[in-house]
């Protein structure tokens, strides 16, 4: 890990000149909808973020650059006797599968598909390409990579995880951080490993839930990938919403300060999750004190940043939070800003990659298309149904065949994602990819054309509709905690229900089995492509299909699916998650006995 302490002398000089208000401002991260550049200047704010679905203007790179220019100006103008020390702002986004908040960005497969690809070199190129697109918007920091090791696929964030096993997650952690951060020069971004720690281990896969496991298991499964991210020099870490053995991670001094910062030697800063400190205690002031004392350095307080600053100031004045802890937090934030050479960077508009034409361009999309090809897992291929002969009479059906929104999943323009094609500009749906290779193919989403036409084979894309975080949970209790992102974008926000009550696909999406059966009843062999954020119980759909492909959430480049279905490329993906046979089974690698339908590592090829 890069030695961040080399920046301490410079950081200490700055700290010595800072007032308490300036220090508290550095530790505060509001959301862009809730803070103006003028307030950033007045309150000496250290960082601003965009939540899922939050963007400036018409949401093209130029709008983002202009916004960041204004925030930057507000912080560096902060010089002189009255205004205090000039400390440039660090702007953060969730670029978790490409720069997924921005119109026309290249959207990569979500992490679950990348886990199947088993290709750390590809991961590094994806991270580098993502960094370019984020830099094109004048942004410096992304809350990625997610290092969750998901043990229960009912969790709504399963797709954000590379694998149920720490091996792949650890191998990717270093590659992704290297790709994003580079040498911290003009090509690099600040990365953020999240969510520390145990987010993938909650009972029932409940989002923001409780992880009840002994410490050696926490270390073996959930902490292990962080060692790789840390040795690759990751500059920031995000605290997790979950609790470990009854204590919320945001208030967990042992995990944040003793293990992460002490034992593992992390000298960067810890950022909270979105209002993540609120769950420490029912009393907000108490939560603030316990969060900062436990070791959170920067607080993602999207809306109520003024309350946060007031509460923290009162704790410092009363002596509950010692000034040394404040200075330590600010020093850590300054170390990261210095290591990233933020003080030497030009204004966002003048940086090398700002507004760069490569944003959303062919070169970037080629990397995503390669990732799609490599992420597909072939689960069944009877009678050599695949590859499809491009001269055959092909029917294309299923609700996700022509839906770039479905194939991109959550965190795609909208926080929760969205059905349809219009909001994902550029790229190809799975249907568009097929049509490009086999121009005679016929699209019939509900499969009704099967009854009238003559077809040799049908390709059906079925699966889940988009979701994010707790709204993707599969469980029986009705309502979920709100989590992050912009509730404004969600009809009925405030009553956010989970996705469903079972992983059994024919129960949550009977329309998909109906489409398969309709096509099969017409005597046409069915090749099913499952578009989903996790393995699902699909015994009935598998039985009714001649061939079956797990495509995960491929993102904007549906062409990559067609590339493999027609045999231009072979399958390379192997399951990084055990495939369940029944909803109540929670199969994971190494279980004895292994009750999975398809084990970890499974995946057929053409050879
Ligand atoms: C969230 C997520 C986190 C994300 C943050 C900012 O609630 O848990 O992954 O980075 O908000 O949008």
Q: Which helix (H) or strand (E) holds 321?
A: none
Q: Smallest Cα–Cα separation from 513: which of 466, 552, 460, 553?
A: 460
- 4-350 topology per CATH: TIM Barrel (3.20.20)
What is the strand order of the sheet 526-531 is part of?
377-381, 547-552, 526-531, 457-463, 394-397, 442-443
Average pLDDT over residues 555-576: 98
pLDDT per residue over 417-449, tens digit each? Answer: 999 999 999 999 999 999 999 999 999 999 999
Ligand 1 in contact with 31 (CB < 6 A)?
no
Query: Is 557 a catalytic site residue?
Result: no
Distance (angstroms) between ligand 1 centre and the Cα of 511 equals 32
- Closest-lying ligand 1 atom to the alpha carbon of residue 160: 9
Distance CA(31)–CA(274), nearest Å, equals: 9
Average pLDDT over residues 477-500: 62
The model scores a pTM over 0.95: yes
Average pLDDT over residues 486-502: 67
Q: Smallest Cα–Cα separation from 88: which of 142, 34, 40, 21?
A: 40
Beta-strand pair 236-239/243-244: unpaired
Rounded alpha-carbon distances, angstroms, from residue 214 to 201, 221, 222, 246, 587: 11, 11, 12, 12, 20
Across 197-224, b (16+ Cβ under 10 Å) vs e yields: bbbbbbebbbbbbbbebeeeebbebbbb
Which position has the token pair 């978790």? 96
Give the list of residues 6+ apart from residue 592 with CB closer than 8 angstroms, or none: none
For residues 586 and 571, the answer to whether their CB atoms sit within 8 Å is no
Q: Smallest Cα–Cα separation from 46: which of 290, 425, 333, 366?
A: 333
Distance (angstroms) between ligand 1 centre and the Cα of 411 equals 10
Omega within 30 of 0 (cis) for the link into 197: yes
| 488, pLDDT greater than 70 | no
pLDDT per residue over 308-360, tens digit each? Answer: 999 999 999 999 999 999 999 999 999 999 999 999 999 999 999 999 999 99
pLDDT per residue over 43-60, tens digit each? Answer: 999 999 999 999 999 999
Fold match, 4-350 / 376-464+499-598: no
Q: Smallest Cα–Cα separation from 209: which of 526, 515, 596, 477?
A: 477
Domain boundaries, the chain: 4-350, 376-464+499-598
- Tokens representing residue 563 in the block: 């590339």
CATH number of the domain located at residue range(s) 376-464+499-598 in this protein:
3.40.50.1700
Distance (angstroms) between ligand 1 centre and the Cα of 272 equals 9
Rounded alpha-carbon distances, angstroms, from residue 505 to 198, 347, 354, 588: 27, 50, 44, 20
Distance (angstroms) between ligand 1 centre and the Cα of 264 equals 24
Beta bridge partners of 380: 548
Which residue in the list 31, 133, 273, 328 is annotated as catalytic? 273
Distance CA(536)–CA(551), nearest Å, equals: 12
Residue to mutate, 101, 143, 147, 272, ligand 1, most ligand atoms under 8 Å from C-beta:
143
Using DSSP's 3-state secondary structure scheme, residue 356 falls into: coil
| 201, pLDDT greater than 70 | yes
SS3 of 526-551: the string is: EEEEEECCCCCECHHHHHHCCEEEEE
């Amino acid at each position: 890990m890069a030695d961040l302490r080399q920046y301490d002398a410079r950081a200490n000089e700055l700290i010595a000149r800072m007032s308490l208000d300036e220090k508290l401002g550095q530790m505060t991260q509001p959301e862009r909808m809730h803070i103006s550049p003028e307030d950033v200047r007045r309150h000496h704010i250290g960082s601003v973020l965009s939540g899922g679905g939050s963007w400036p203007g018409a949401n093209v790179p130029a709008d983002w650059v202009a916004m960041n220019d204004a925030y930057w100006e507000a912080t560096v103008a902060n010089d002189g006797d009255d205004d205090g020390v000039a400390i440039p702002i660090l702007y953060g986004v969730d670029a978790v599968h490409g720069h997924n908040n921005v119109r026309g960005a290249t959207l990569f497969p979500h992490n679950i598909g990348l886990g199947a690809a088993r290709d750390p070199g590809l991961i590094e190129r994806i991270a580098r390409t993502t960094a370019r697109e984020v830099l094109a918007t004048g942004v410096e920091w992304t809350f990625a990579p997610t290092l969750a090791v998901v043990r229960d696929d009912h969790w709504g964030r399963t797709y954000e995880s590379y694998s149920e096993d720490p091996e792949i997650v650890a191998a990717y952690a270093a590659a992704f951080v290297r790709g994003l951060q580079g040498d911290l020069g003009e090509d690099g971004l600040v990365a953020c490993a999240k969510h520390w720690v145990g987010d993938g281990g909650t009972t029932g896969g409940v989002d923001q839930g409780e992880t009840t496991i002994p410490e050696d298991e926490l270390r073996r499964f959930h902490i292990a990938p962080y060692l790789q991210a840390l040795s690759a020099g990751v500059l920031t870490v995000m605290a997790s919403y979950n609790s470990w053995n009854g204590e919320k991670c945001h208030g967990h001094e042992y995990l944040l300060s003793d293990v992460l910062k002490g034992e593992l030697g992390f000298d960067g800063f810890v950022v909270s999750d979105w209002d993540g400190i609120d769950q420490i205690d029912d009393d907000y002031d108490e939560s603030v004190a316990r969060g900062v004392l436990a070791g959170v350095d920067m607080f993602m307080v999207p809306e109520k940043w003024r309350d946060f600053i007031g509460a923290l100031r009162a704790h410092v004045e009363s002596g509950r939070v010692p000034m040394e802890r404040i200075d330590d937090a600010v020093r850590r934030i300054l170390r990261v800003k210095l290591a990233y050479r933020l003080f030497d960077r030009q204004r966002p508009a003048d940086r090398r990659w700002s507004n760069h034409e490569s944003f959303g361009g062919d070169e970037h999309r080629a990397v995503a298309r390669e990732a799609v090809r490599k992420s597909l897992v072939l689960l069944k291929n009877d009678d050599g149904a695949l590859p499809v002969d491009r001269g055959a009479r092909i029917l294309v059906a299923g609700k996700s065949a022509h839906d770039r929104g479905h194939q991109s999943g959550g965190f795609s323009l909208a926080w929760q994602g969205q059905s349809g094609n219009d909001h994902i500009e550029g790229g190809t749906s799975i249907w568009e990819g097929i049509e490009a290779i086999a121009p005679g193919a016929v699209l019939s989403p509900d499969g009704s054309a099967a009854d009238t036409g003559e077809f040799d084979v049908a390709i059906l894309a079925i699966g889940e509709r988009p979701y994010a975080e707790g709204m993707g949970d599969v469980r029986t209790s009705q309502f979920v905690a709100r989590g992050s992102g912009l509730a404004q974008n969600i009809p009925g926000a405030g009553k956010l229900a989970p996705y469903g009550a079972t992983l059994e696909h024919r129960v949550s999406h009977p329309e998909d089995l109906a489409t398969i059966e309709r096509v099969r009843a017409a005597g046409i062999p069915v090749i099913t492509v499952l578009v989903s954020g996790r393995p699902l119980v699909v015994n009935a759909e598998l039985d009714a299909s001649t061939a079956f492909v797990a495509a995960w959430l491929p993102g904007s480049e549906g062409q990559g699916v067609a590339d493999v279905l027609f045999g231009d490329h072979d399958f390379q993906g192997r399951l990084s998650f055990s495939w369940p046979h029944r909803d109540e089974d929670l199969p994971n690698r190494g279980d004895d006995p292994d009750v999975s339908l398809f084990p970890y590592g499974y995946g057929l090829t053409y050879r």
